């Protein structure tokens, strides 16, 4: 079975490619390396300086030896219609895992240029991909990385993709209302609308994974050799909140809780992201079906997370403090939040829980690299109100 991973250089894309290749899928990855350029432009780096993707793939292919586990690679941009057409016509994938988008809400809120880049890169890139699929491989199953952030924080339960409504004596089923909180999340909402449309009109098969906040450093395959590590960020642009807290804890930097800390969000371990991709491949959407799965395992308030890190850090003798700072984002201080995630449970997902053992082991791992950490990258420099 052939699987194309778009965005194979990223935090999730690289471990996904290794994971699927290790399961003997025929894997091909593409990337335009735009995230590396954003890192360079903003003076930020992941914890480990990564080799070029071409080098990492060559290292992996030598390591595995088995031709069934080797990975193919094309360098290019899905905004280039000729490029993506050519790749699909040559490779003819059965499944397409689409990670290839600008993934940062803070970056999208830096200014007009960043908002414009995010929406053009994400929305038009996704649209180019859809037209290329229609031409080259219309039966391919699309697995698209979405985000729980498109829902916002409604005062009702968040269903999986759809909601039944009753209005003036009549009933209908429609996509769940979207209330994105950044230009990045807006781009994801537009993607979802386009995906729903091509399923209804062109008969596409799409699984849209509305993913929570991912945390974690390693997966089984990235631990094989140091060269296979993924792009772990802890900075204010690309670093997810739990990963940032872990790194702050090992550097004796106060855990920066935005605002009240009572904001509740959904979370999952990076290993569960890989599990969800695999389950989506094994349980694909049908023709004309736009399937939404809310991809998360647990929900926590931000202050709960900080307290968990503090408690685990103290067991290792770390002086972990919590500091509430002005919230750079525009979000409710306290809110109802009850998303549903039954779909993955139905098809056999076995969630990895965030427990003290995981936190302690993560802190121990990060302590080895404490001298590499740039503490100036922690504090948020992007404020939603100040965008120009």
Give one word for 7, left, alpha or beta, with left for phi > 0 and alpha for psi -120 to 50.
left
- Tokens 């991909």 correspond to what residue? 129
Report the chain's mean pLDDT, rounded to a whole number: 97
Q: How far is CA 384 from CA 186, 239, 326, 334, 387, in A?
A: 14, 17, 12, 18, 6
386, pLDDT greater than 80: no
Burial class of residue 57 (count of CB atoms within 10 Å of its CB; 0-12, 13-18, 19+): buried
Confidence category of residue 388, pLDDT binned at 50, 70, 90 = low
- The CATH number fitting domain 2-386, selected from 3.30.70.2700, 3.90.470.20, 3.40.50.720, 3.40.190.80: 3.40.50.720
Please write the tens of the pLDDT for every residue from 14-31: 999 999 999 999 999 999
The answer on pLDDT for 387 being more than 90 is no
Q: What percent of the chain has pLDDT over 70?
A: 99
Per-residue pLDDT, averaged over 119-128, amounts to 98
Tokens 């729903």 — which residue?
196
Is pLDDT of 385 > 90?
no
CA–CA dist 271, 217 (Å, integer)? 9
What percent of the chain has a predicted confidence (pLDDT) above 90? 98
Which two three-digit tokens encode residue 261?
């800390």
Question: Catalytic site residue 134?
Answer: no
Q: Which residues contact 117 (CB under 8 A, 6 or more apart)?
A: 102
Q: Which residue is catalytic, options 11, 184, 253, 337? A: 184
Where exactly are the structural domains of the chain?
2-386
Catalytic residue among 72, 144, 188, 308: 188
Residue 33 has pLDDT above 90, yes or no: yes
Instruction: Tell me phi and psi for residue 106, to 5 degrees.
Output: -55, -40
Residue 166: per-residue pLDDT:
96
Flag whether pLDDT at 99 surpasses 80: yes
DSSP 3-state assignment of 162? strand
State the Cα–Cα distance between residues 237 and 105, nearest whole angstrom.
8
| Residues 165-210 pLDDT 10s | 999 999 999 999 999 999 999 999 999 999 999 999 999 999 999 9
Active site residue 188: yes
Using one digit for the tens of pLDDT, what is the confidence trace for 328-382? Answer: 999 999 999 999 999 999 999 999 999 999 999 999 999 999 999 999 999 999 9
pLDDT at 10: 97
pTM: 0.97
Select which of 35, 72, 144, 147 is catalytic: 147
Question: What band does 223 get if pLDDT is binned at 50, 70 and 90?
Answer: very high
Assess whether 69 carries a catalytic annotation: no
Structure tokens of 299? 């929900």
* pLDDT, position 27: 98
Residue 280 CA to chain centroid, in angstroms? 15
**What does the alpha-carbon distance between residue 234 and residue 45 come to, in Å, rounded to a whole number?**
9
Residue 335 DSSP symbol: -
CA 372, CA 370: separation in Å to the nearest integer?
5
């Amino acid at each position: 079975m052939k699987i194309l991973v778009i965005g194979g250089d990223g935090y999730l894309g690289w471990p996904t490619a290794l994971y699927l290749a290790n399961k003997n899928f025929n894997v091909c990855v593409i990337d335009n390396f735009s995230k590396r350029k954003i890192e360079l432009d903003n003076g930020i780096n992941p914890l480990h300086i990564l080799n070029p993707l071409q080098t990492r793939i060559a290292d992996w292919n030598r390591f595995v030896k088995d031709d069934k586990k080797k990975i193919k690679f094309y360098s290019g941009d899905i905004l280039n219609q000729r490029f993506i057409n050519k790749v699909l016509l040559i490779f003819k994938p059965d499944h397409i895992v689409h990670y290839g988008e600008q993934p940062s809400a803070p970056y999208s809120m830096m200014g007009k240029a960043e908002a414009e880049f995010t929406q053009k890169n994400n929305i038009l890139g996704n649209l180019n991909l859809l037209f290329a699929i229609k031409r080259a491989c219309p039966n391919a199953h699309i697995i698209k990385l979405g985000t729980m952030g498109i829902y916002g924080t409604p005062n009702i339960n968040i269903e999986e993709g759809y909601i039944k409504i009753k209005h003036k004596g009549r009933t209908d089923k429609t996509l769940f209302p979207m209330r994105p909180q950044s230009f990045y999340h807006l781009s994801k909402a537009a993607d979802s609308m386009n995906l729903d449309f091509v399923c209804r009109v062109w008969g596409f098969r799409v699984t849209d994974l509305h993913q929570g906040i991912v945390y974690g450093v390693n997966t089984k395959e990235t631990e094989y050799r140091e060269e296979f590590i993924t792009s772990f960020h802890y900075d204010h642009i690309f670093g997810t909140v739990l990963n940032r807290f872990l790194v702050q804890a090992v550097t004796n930097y106060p855990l920066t809780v935005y605002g009240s800390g009572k904001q509740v969000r959904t979370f999952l371990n990076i290993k569960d992201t890989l599990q969800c991709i695999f389950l989506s491949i094994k349980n694909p959407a049908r023709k004309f079906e736009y399937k939404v799965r809310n991809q998360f395992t647990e929900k926590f308030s931000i202050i709960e997370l900080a307290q968990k890190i503090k408690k685990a850090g103290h067991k290792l003798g770390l002086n972990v403090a919590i500091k509430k700072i002005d919230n750079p984002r525009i979000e409710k201080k306290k809110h109802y939040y009850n998303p549903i995630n039954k779909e993955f449970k139905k098809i056999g997902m076995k969630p990895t829980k965030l427990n003290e053992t995981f936190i302690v082991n993560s802190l121990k791992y990060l302590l080895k690299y404490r001298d590499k950490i740039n503490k100036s990258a922690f504090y948020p420099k992007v404020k939603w109100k100040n965008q120009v």
